Chain A
């Protein structure tokens, strides 16, 4: 068995898929795994693959042309989701996809297809949650938000806000992964990695309180109807772990 490993980024994953395919070893004799690999198996050869823009483009355009755009959407979302074995799941999905073509995403009775659907659904649902629950605080004229999603969906979330607030300066920070989407006024946003020092300084923005923070908490507390109180229902819609960075629960 040959195991192809790569870093946790979309480009690296696509390049890894390209390498595994091009190696000609045979689909049953290769496995794809994300780094870091904590425990190596006996009788396996490990091959590290570096991200390559051209190979990524080749894989992406092949998926879009030979399978479908919907398949590409699912692959992208699955790649940012949080399953340990998602890279191998995508590979198996594509192996089947390149043989059956556009009907791939409809073949839900095949475990490969269902697996990727579930992963992509997880990422899409989480991105949707953070569209709702991301909270910005105003610090020095910049709106700063901190989130800690399970899937790597900062960029997906930032796309939504780029359309919503095109002329404002804002940034969304993933505290766990130490990455941020930064949006200057009237420009497209870009992704950047943060150093420990930068992250520490940016964390201070969360304590920032202004008049509207207080007003929002006032509104939030007033608008619930006492006679209908239902914390179970509230938790169902908004699980506790999402509330970590939400203004109304920081009091």
Chain B
């Protein structure tokens, strides 16, 4: 094994990008920030992809590990301590220079910094914070930063990272405690959910201090949807009330120590793009229903901005893992993402899509079509009179085309030719729609 300092920057980049590539949470969305004179960068709420890798996944951020040295032995991970692989570590300045120089050439939208657990969670988190501090205050980088929170790191370090980064994430990895014990013996759910809870409450308090609502912004279509998982009624059922003015106090939970930082710190954005997490699918026996229920629970109770799914790619041989020639469950991952969109944009809930009796998605049909076929009694719907909410449930109609329909039908009647030009996918939609009483 080579010692880190002997490696060239290019070799380090190879090792540490290779180690980070299996993490899927690589979006640059959620934060909106104008550029400033003397600084480099801004942030766009919708996020910007800069390239697409050979696997078709977007490259938006410089996704690297600070180091792939790790003291943990998570079975599925390429960087586990029992693997004999080349190890390397960046210095904080190397990360800063790579980020700013790539950013100036418009290769990337920002930095995604993760790390193996180096010596201890505290030591690793401190190095991460040091890197972000340098990047923001010495290199004057004003672009997007996504940083991993290391489970088990001290609260004050996580808080410090929160003021420097746009998004933070802690990977849940596996949705049940048993799977966790089997595949990630050094971690447990409490180590992950406790910081996630505190982070969520701290974000909520900062949002309230800045005059926003406690809950993160969601797709605008949700305000017209009564059954949305983010609607006030649904959130009240979970015990986390929408628009709660004092989420932390009423819940009796702790937030990160802000009192030390004085009054003005409250106005400083804290993780403005919210939290995200990821789950590995296909390495353990959980069903799609279980995964989707967990996703919904995380959106409602932890106010996560995104939940990502990572199809398990066999990297290590281990008795506890699927065989190395197991195919990557790409279609299953795709179906889960489709369902995730249905939760966040279309007002569906997990229980509508799947149940104990039907715990997995149909591989042949997308979840929305599948739902529509099981509810034929609701169709066809009349384009010229149906509610926005009803239109959104039609396969082939999305938030944008549904909005165009309700806006334009105020001034005249619509027919199928109009729908087509508005962006409705008639191939799927025409079975479920009528225009002025007629089918296509």
Contacts and interface: CB of A to CB of B under 8 A. Distances in A.
A227 B328 CA distance: 7
Contact of A143 (B42, B104, B422): B104
A138 B104 CA distance: 9
Interface stretch (A14-22, A58-66, A210-218): A210-218
Contacts of B82: none
Interface residues of B, number: 57
Interface in B398-425: 404, 407-408, 410-415, 418, 421-422
A218 B7 CA distance: 15
Secondary structure of the B contact surface, majority rule: loop
A201 interface: no
A248 B102 contact: no
A177 to B, nearest CB: 20
Contact of A108 (B22, B53, B63, B404): B404
A207 interface: no
Interface in A172-213: 186, 211-213
Contact of A234 (B21, B36, B54, B143): B54
Contacts of B117: none
A237 B56 contact: yes
Interface stretch (B11-19, B127-135, B204-212, B219-227): B11-19
Given A214-B10, A222-B21, A164 B41 contact: yes
B63 A167 contact: no
Contact of B55 (A114, A225, A246): A225
A43 interface: no
Contact of B14 (A222, A224, A238, A246): A222
A232 interface: yes
B383 to A, nearest CB: 11
B38 interface: yes
Contacts of A162: 35
A145 B105 CA distance: 9
A165 B55 contact: no
Given A215-B9, A222-B17, A227-B328, A165 B412 contact: no
A236 interface: yes
B106 A218 contact: no
A82 interface: no
Contacts of B41: 164-165
Nearest to A137: B105
B392 interface: no
B317 interface: no
Contacts of A216: 102, 105, 107
B57 interface: yes
B158 interface: no
A109 B418 contact: yes
A224 B407 contact: no
Interface string B338-369: 00000000000000000000000000000000
Interface residues of A, number: 56
A211 B34 CA distance: 29
Interface string B100-120: 011011110000000000000
B57 A228 contact: yes
A118 interface: yes
Given A143-B105, A163-B34, A163-B42, A107 B56 contact: no
B40 interface: yes
B55 A136 contact: no
A131 B60 CA distance: 12
Contacts of A220: 51, 53, 59
Contacts of B170: none
B320 interface: no
A120 interface: no
Nearest to A103: B411
B106 A135 contact: yes
B178 to A, nearest CB: 27
B2 interface: no
A107 B105 contact: no
Nearest to B19: A222
A231 interface: yes
B63 A223 contact: yes
B104 A215 contact: no
B49 interface: yes
B412 A107 contact: yes
A108 B405 CA distance: 9
Interface centre among B20, B48, B50 (most CB of A within 10 A): B50
A224 B54 contact: yes
Nearest to B64: A219
Contacts of A118: 421
Given A106-B408, A135-B105, A222-B18, A166 B36 contact: yes
28 contacts: A106-B407, A106-B408, A106-B411, A114-B418, A135-B105, A164-B40, A165-B35, A165-B41, A212-B98, A213-B105, A215-B9, A216-B105, A218-B17, A219-B102, A220-B51, A222-B13, A223-B21, A224-B21, A224-B53, A224-B57, A225-B22, A225-B53, A227-B313, A231-B54, A233-B55, A233-B56, A234-B53, A236-B56
Which 6 pairs, one residue from A and one from B, show the smallest C-beta to C-beta distance? A233-B56, A224-B54, A224-B53, A228-B55, A108-B408, A230-B56
Interface of A: 103, 106-110, 114, 118, 131-138, 143, 145, 161-168, 186, 211-216, 218-234, 236-238, 246-248
Given A224-B21, A225-B57, 16 more contacts: A103-B411, A106-B410, A108-B407, A109-B408, A109-B411, A143-B104, A145-B106, A165-B40, A165-B104, A215-B9, A215-B98, A219-B102, A223-B17, A228-B57, A228-B330, A247-B107
